[in-house]
């Protein structure tokens, strides 16, 4: 698992990802934490289901499934010769939960308490404080991947 922690303008970005193969991410979880320790957004990426963004003031937004290989092959001659899997249209909140559950059940999170905490963050919105020490994730601003 690759773990990184980066300082951004007005937030800390915490990223956890597992590779499926070289240059391809199986699952990713990215959490933005504000200086007051509140979570502003969380991005979930599942190679099986798609991607979804959770915003503290809106809940789940921008949820998309991946298109199938058959869908990728439809279209022009070039698209059939060089298929690229892209996003389908917008999916439901129930589908967003499916993505979240797949990511959280697949990533080796630093603690079981993380999984419980993140599973309980749902489509509701509002101020949510990050209850864990950041140095338990990645002790410094450098990549802690293996």
What is the domain count for the chain?
1
* Residue 15, domain extent: 2-136
Residuewise pLDDT in 10s, the chain (146 residues): 888 888 888 888 999 998 888 888 899 999 999 888 888 999 999 998 999 999 988 889 889 888 666 655 565 554 554 544 455 667 788 989 999 999 998 888 766 777 788 887 765 556 677 877 765 444 333 333 33
The answer to whether residue 92 is domain-embedded is yes
Instruction: Name every residue whose Cβ is closer than 8 Å to that of residue 31 and which is 6 or more positions away in sequence.
Output: 13, 14, 15, 39, 41, 42, 130
The per-residue pLDDT for 92 is 87
Q: What does the alpha-carbon distance between residue 55 and residue 44 come to, in Å, rounded to a whole number?
A: 12
The answer to whether residue 143 is domain-embedded is no
């Amino acid at each position: 698992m690759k773990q990184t922690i980066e300082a951004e303008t007005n937030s800390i970005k915490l990223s956890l990802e597992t590779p499926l193969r070289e240059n391809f991410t199986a699952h990713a979880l990215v959490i933005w934490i504000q200086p007051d320790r509140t979570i502003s957004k969380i991005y979930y990426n599942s190679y099986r289901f798609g991607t979804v963004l959770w915003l503290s003031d809106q809940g789940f937004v921008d949820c998309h499934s991946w298109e199938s290989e058959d869908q990728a092959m439809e279209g022009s001659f070039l698209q059939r010769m060089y298929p690229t899997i892209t996003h389908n249209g917008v999916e439901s909140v129930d589908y967003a939960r499916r993505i979240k559950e797949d990511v959280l059940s697949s990533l080796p999170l630093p603690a079981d308490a993380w999984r419980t905490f993140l599973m309980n963050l749902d489509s509701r919105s509002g101020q949510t404080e990050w209850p864990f020490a950041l140095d338990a994730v990645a002790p410094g601003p450098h990549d802690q991947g293996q």
